[in-house]
């Protein structure tokens, strides 16, 4: 029996790594575009420095090279942290220290018509969790929200001219037990992370299957359908739940809910 449980846990870890790499592939085009924008001033400044023109402000050009290279290094560092992930244990952590890193990557991948808004409540309680897995959940939900505004999934809905992708973190209290997707949470203190979009909404048929492994509404080759199912698995492994609110032509909000930690958060 122990061997079966260990094999199942290993398989779940493999699936989570696979899905995390898939997310990176989805983010790649936006990242490449931004890296190109960072490399262009470096190349131009380098070429100008090679000239023997005495009127060139060499200090300014060197500053441009240094700044662009530093920004590129920061971006790559963020990507490597997300890609490597980890098999860390659940420890007390602060979500408000995780969200900025996810947002930093997301900003490089959004189309021009999508605005990213964050609303993080002050003095949030800690949760028991794995920082990499929590980041993966938020990234998955944000990618889906972005795509919902980029791809018209509701028949007859107008093409988007602008959109808002929102990420909000709140503390919450359940006075009584409440049922969510596949799980019921008992009364107590929780922390919620809500990811919202102003896309076309989710239809009833899709909503029934959206957390099924390998289910996707995207064209062949543009997704394995593991993002939401992996996210649900991560949330449940943290003792949490998922709530979905969606209206046709109005948008969707997916909220993940985690029980608060009893121990102080790690610095």
Judgement on whether residues 55 and 114 belong to the same structural domain of the protein: no
* Phi, psi angles (nearest 5°) of residue 118: -120, 145
Q: Are residues 66 and 127 in the same domain?
A: no
Looking at the fold, whether 42 and 172 belong to one and the same domain comes out as no
Q: Are residues 57 and 109 in the same domain?
A: no
Residue 186's domain is classified under what CATH number?
3.30.565.10
Clarify whether residues 206 and 110 are in a common domain.
yes
Q: Does 100 lie in the same domain as 52?
A: no
Among the candidates 21, 56, 84, a domain finishes at: 84
Label residues 151-190 b or e (16+ Cβ within 10 Å = b): eebeeeeeebeebbbbbbbeeeeeeeeeebeeeebeeeeb
Burial grade of 78 (CB within 10 A; 0-12, 13-18, 19 or more): middle
As a whole number of angstroms, the distance between CA 99 and CA 246 comes to 23
Residue 265 lies in a domain: no
| One domain for residues 58 and 180 | no
Domain termination residue (choose one: 53, 69, 84):
84
Q: Classify residue 200 by burial, with Cβ atoms within 10 Å: 0-12, 13-18, 19+.
A: buried
CA distance 191 to 210: 23
Residues 75, 98 within the same domain = no
Length reported for the chain: 267
- With b for 16 or more beta-carbon neighbours within 10 A and e for fewer, the 133-147 pattern comes to bbbbbbbbbbbbbbb
74 and 167 share a domain? no
Question: 245 has which bridge partners?
Answer: 253
Shared-domain flag, residues 168 and 221: yes
pLDDT at 17: 60
- What's the CATH number where 18 sits? 1.10.287
Q: What is the pTM of this model?
A: 0.69
State how far the Cα of 171 lies from the Cα of 181, in Å rounded to an integer: 19
Query: pLDDT value at position 208?
Result: 84
Whether residue 245 lies inside any domain: the answer is yes
Q: Is the same domain home to 75 and 99?
A: no
Please say which residue of 84, 118, 145 terminates a domain: 84
Number of domains in the chain: 2
pLDDT of the residue at 2: 52
**Structural domain boundaries, residue 98:** 91-259
8 Å CB contact between 261 and 127: yes
173 near 189, Cβ under 8 Å?
yes
- My answer on whether 141 and 179 are in the same domain is yes
CA distances from 100 to 52, 59, 120, 168 (A): 44, 32, 10, 12
For residue 127, is it within any domain? yes
Whether 116 maps to a domain, the answer reads yes
Contact partners, residue 52, CB within 8 Å, separation at least 6? none
In a domain, 266, yes or no: no
CB 35 within 8 A of CB 152: no
pLDDT in single tens digits along all 267 residues of the chain: 555 545 555 665 656 566 555 655 555 555 665 677 678 788 888 888 888 777 788 888 888 888 778 777 766 765 665 555 445 578 999 999 999 988 988 887 888 899 999 999 999 999 999 888 898 889 889 988 998 888 644 434 555 568 999 999 999 999 999 999 878 999 999 999 999 999 989 988 888 888 887 677 776 655 556 678 878 888 988 999 999 999 888 899 999 999 999 855 555
């Amino acid at each position: 029996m122990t061997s079966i449980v260990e094999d199942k846990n290993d398989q779940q870890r493999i699936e989570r790594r696979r899905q995390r790499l898939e997310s990176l592939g989805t983010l790649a085009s936006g990242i490449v575009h931004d890296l190109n924008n960072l490399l262009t001033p470096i190349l131009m400044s380098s070429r100008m420095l090679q000239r023997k023109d005495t009127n060139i402000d060499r200090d300014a050009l060197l500053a441009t090279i240094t700044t662009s290279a530093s920004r590129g290094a920061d971006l790559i560092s963020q990507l490597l942290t997300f890609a490597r992930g980890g098999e860390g244990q659940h420890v007390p952590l602060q979500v408000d220290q995780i969200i900025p890193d996810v947002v930093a990557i997301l900003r490089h991948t959004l189309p021009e018509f999508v605005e990213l808004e964050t609303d993080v409540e002050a003095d949030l309680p800690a949760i028991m969790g794995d920082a990499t897995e929590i980041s993966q959940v938020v990234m998955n939900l944000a990618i889906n929200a972005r795509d919902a505004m980029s791809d018209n999934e509701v028949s007859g809905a107008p093409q988007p001219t602008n959109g808002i992708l929102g990420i909000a973190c709140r503390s919450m209290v359940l006075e009584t037990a409440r049922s969510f997707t596949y799980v019921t949470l008992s009364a107590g203190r929780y922390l919620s992370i809500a990811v919202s979009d102003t896309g076309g909404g989710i239809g009833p048929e899709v909503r029934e299957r959206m957390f099924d492994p390998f289910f996707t509404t995207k064209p062949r080759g543009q997704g394995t359908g593991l993002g939401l199912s992996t996210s649900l698995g991560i949330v449940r492994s943290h003792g949490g739940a998922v709530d979905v609110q969606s209206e046709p032509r109005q948008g969707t909000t997916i909220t993940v809910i985690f029980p608060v930690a009893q121990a102080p958060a790690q610095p």
